Amino acid sequence: MTGIHDTVNAHIPLLRRTLLIVLLLVLLVPVYSNARATLYDGKDGLSSNVINCMVRDERGMMWIGTQNGLNIYDGYTFSKIEGALSSLNINELVASASGKELWVGTAQGLYLVNLHTFTTTRCTLDNGKDAPWTQGNASGLCLDATGNQLYSSFSGGYVVAVKGSRITRIGRMADTVRNISFIVNRDAGNLLVSNGDVYTLDLKTGHSRYIEELRKLAPFTAISRSGDTLSLNGYASGLNLFHIKTLQLLTPAALRRQNNGFPFYIRGGRLAGNKLYLAGSNYSFFIYDLQQESYIDASRKYPDLFEGKVYRNMFLDERNIAWIATNKGLIKLEERPALFERVLYNLPERVSTRNMIEDRWGDIYIASYSGLYQYVKAEQRWRVYNGNTMPHSPQAPDIPYPQSLLEDSSGNYIYVGSEYAKLVVFNKQKKVYEHLNCTEMGGEKVRNILNIERDRLGHIWLACDNGLASYDPVKNVIRLHKQDAFDIGNAGARVICADPQQNLIYVGTSAGLFIIDIQTGIRKHLTTESVPALTSNNIMFIDVDAAGNLWIGTNGGGINVISPDGKQSRYILKQNGLSSEIVYSMLREDDNTVWVGTFNGLARYRVKQGLFNFFFEEDGLCSNEFNHNSYLKARDGKMYFGSINGVTTFYPQQIGYPRAFRIFVSGMSRWNEKSQSVYLSRKEVDPGEVIQKKPSDLLLELHFGCTDYSDPLRNTFTYRIEHLSDNWISLDDKHTLNLGGLPYGEYTIEVRATNAQGLPSVNTLVFQVQVVQPFYKTWWFYLLLLLCLGGVFYAIYLLQYQSLKNLHQLRLRISSNLHDDVGSLLTRITMVSENLRYGRNTEAQRNAKLDKIASLSRAAVASMSDVLWTIDSRNDFAGNLLDRMREHAEEMLFPLGIDVNFVISGTDLKRSVAAHIRRDIYLLFKEAINNIARHSKADRVDIIYRINEKGFYLSITNNGTPETGSSDISTGQGLSNIRMRARKAGASVSIDRKDDLFIIEVHK
In-domain check, residue 752: yes
Instruction: Name which residue leads in pLDDT, 996 or 793.
Output: 793
Q: Is residue 842 domain-shared with residue 951, that is, in the same domain?
A: no
CA distance 69 to 859: 99
User: Degrees (nearest 5) of the Cα angle 467, 447, 492?
Assistant: 35
Q: Is residue 889 domain-shared with residue 799, that is, in the same domain?
A: no
pLDDT for 219 beyond 50? yes
pLDDT tens-digit map of 597-650: 999 999 999 999 999 999 999 889 999 999 999 999 999 999 999 999 999 999
30: confidence class by pLDDT, cuts 50, 70, 90: very low
Alpha helix stretches (DSSP H) within 89-247: none
In the prediction, which pLDDT does 29 show? 34
CA distance 786 to 676: 35
> Among 186, 255, 181, 185, which residue's Cα sits nearest to residue 222?
181
Q: Is residue 527 domain-shared with residue 631, that is, in the same domain?
A: yes
Q: Summarize the confidence of residues 62-74 as an average pLDDT.
A: 96
DSSP state for residue 819 in the 8-state scheme = I
Q: Is residue 568 domain-shared with residue 676, that is, in the same domain?
A: no
First-to-last alpha carbon distance for the chain, in angstroms, is: 90
pLDDT for 379 beyond 80? yes
In the prediction, which pLDDT does 453 show? 97
Q: Tally the domains of the chain.
A: 5
Q: Summarize the confidence of residues 825-842 as an average pLDDT.
A: 77
> Among 387, 481, 393, which residue's Cα sits nearest to residue 443?
481
Burial class (CB in 10 A: 0-12, 13-18, 19+), 775: exposed
pLDDT for 405 beyond 70? yes
Q: Is residue 475 domain-shared with residue 502, that is, in the same domain?
A: yes
23: confidence class by pLDDT, cuts 50, 70, 90: very low
Q: Summarize the confidence of residues 352-380 as an average pLDDT.
A: 95
Instruction: Count CB-CB contacts under 10 A for residue 408.
Output: 16
421: confidence class by pLDDT, cuts 50, 70, 90: low
Q: Summarize the confidence of residues 448-459 as an average pLDDT.
A: 94
Determine if residue 10 is left, alpha or beta; phi over 0 gives left, psi from -120 to 50 gives alpha, anything else beta. Answer: beta
CA distance 950 to 349: 109
Torsions phi, psi for 912 (to 5 deg): -75, 140
pLDDT for 565 beyond 70? yes
CA distance 497 to 453: 7
pLDDT for 93 beyond 80? yes
CATH classification at residue 730: 2.60.40.10
In-domain check, residue 118: no
In-domain check, residue 220: no
Alpha helix stretches (DSSP H) within 240-318: 253-259, 298-301, 303-306
In-domain check, residue 161: no
In-domain check, residue 87: no
Q: Summarize the confidence of residues 192-213 as an average pLDDT.
A: 92
Of 773, 801, 836, which one is at a domain's C-terminal end?
A: 773
Span of 235-249, 469-483, 754-768 with lowest mean pLDDT: 235-249
pLDDT for 570 beyond 60? yes
In the prediction, which pLDDT does 998 show? 86
> Among 472, 470, 383, 471, which residue's Cα sits nearest to residue 432?
383
Q: Is residue 487 domain-shared with residue 613, that is, in the same domain?
A: yes
**Dihedral angle over CA of 208, 211, 217, 222, nearest 10:** -40
Of 848, 871, 894, which one is at a domain's C-terminal end?
A: 871
**217 three-class SS:** helix
231: confidence class by pLDDT, cuts 50, 70, 90: confident
Q: Is residue 352 domain-shared with residue 483, that is, in the same domain?
A: yes
For residue 720, give every residue at least 6 positions away whose Cβ sits within 8 Å of its Cβ, in sequence order, or none: 726, 727, 728, 729, 749, 750
Q: Is residue 459 domain-shared with residue 446, that is, in the same domain?
A: yes
CA distance 791 to 789: 5
Of 773, 797, 820, which one is at a domain's C-terminal end?
A: 773
In the prediction, which pLDDT does 27 show? 31
Spell out the SS3 assignment of 841-870.
CCHHHHHHHHHHHHHHHHHHHHHHHHHHHH
528: confidence class by pLDDT, cuts 50, 70, 90: very high
CA distance 909 to 522: 111
Residues linked to residue 770 through DSSP beta bridges, in sequence order? 692, 746
In the prediction, which pLDDT does 62 show? 96
Q: Is residue 456 domain-shared with residue 531, that is, in the same domain?
A: yes
Query: What is the Cα 405 distance to its own chain's centre?
Result: 52
State which residues form the domain around 928: 875-1004
Burial class (CB in 10 A: 0-12, 13-18, 19+), 960: middle
In the prediction, which pLDDT does 21 show? 30
pLDDT for 718 beyond 80? yes
CA distance 168 to 86: 26
Determine if residue 801 is left, alpha or beta; phi over 0 gives left, psi from -120 to 50 gives alpha, anything else beta. Answer: alpha
In the prediction, which pLDDT does 19 show? 28
Q: Summarize the confidence of residues 882-896 as an average pLDDT.
A: 86
Counting residues of the chain whose pLDDT is more than 90, the rounded percentage is 49
Q: Is residue 252 domain-shared with residue 351, that is, in the same domain?
A: no
In the prediction, which pLDDT does 33 show? 44
Residues 587 and 633 sit within 8 Å (Cβ to Cβ):
yes
CA distance 885 to 392: 139
Element (H, E) at 577: none
In the prediction, which pLDDT does 417 show? 94
pLDDT for 254 beyond 60? yes
> Which amino acid would we find at residue 832?
V
CATH classification at residue 557: 2.130.10.10
Q: What is the length of the chain?
A: 1004
Counting residues of the chain whose pLDDT is more than 70, the rounded percentage is 92
In-domain check, residue 963: yes
SS3 content of the chain, % helix, strand, coil (to 5): 20, 40, 40
765-771 and 690-693 strand pairing: parallel
In-domain check, residue 190: no
In-domain check, residue 885: yes
Q: Using alpha carbons, list the distances in angstroms from residue 453 to 464, 473, 637, 697.
A: 12, 13, 21, 63
The pLDDT mean for the chain works out to: 86
CATH classification at residue 899: 3.30.565.10
Q: Using alpha carbons, list the distances in angstroms from residue 673 to 80, 771, 773, 814.
A: 22, 18, 18, 63
Residues 316 and 273 sit within 8 Å (Cβ to Cβ):
no
pLDDT for 929 beyond 70? yes
Span of 670-674, 727-731, 899-903, 981-985 with lowest mean pLDDT: 670-674
In the prediction, which pLDDT does 283 show? 83
Span of 1-10, 84-93, 793-802, 980-989 with lowest mean pLDDT: 1-10
Torsions phi, psi for 975 (to 5 deg): -65, -25
Q: Is residue 881 domain-shared with residue 970, that is, in the same domain?
A: yes
Residues 141 and 94 sit within 8 Å (Cβ to Cβ):
yes
CA distance 691 to 668: 10
In the prediction, which pLDDT does 971 show? 43
Q: Is residue 865 domain-shared with residue 895, that is, in the same domain?
A: no
In the prediction, which pLDDT does 987 show? 85
> Among 900, 861, 901, 866, which residue's Cα sits nearest to residue 881?
866
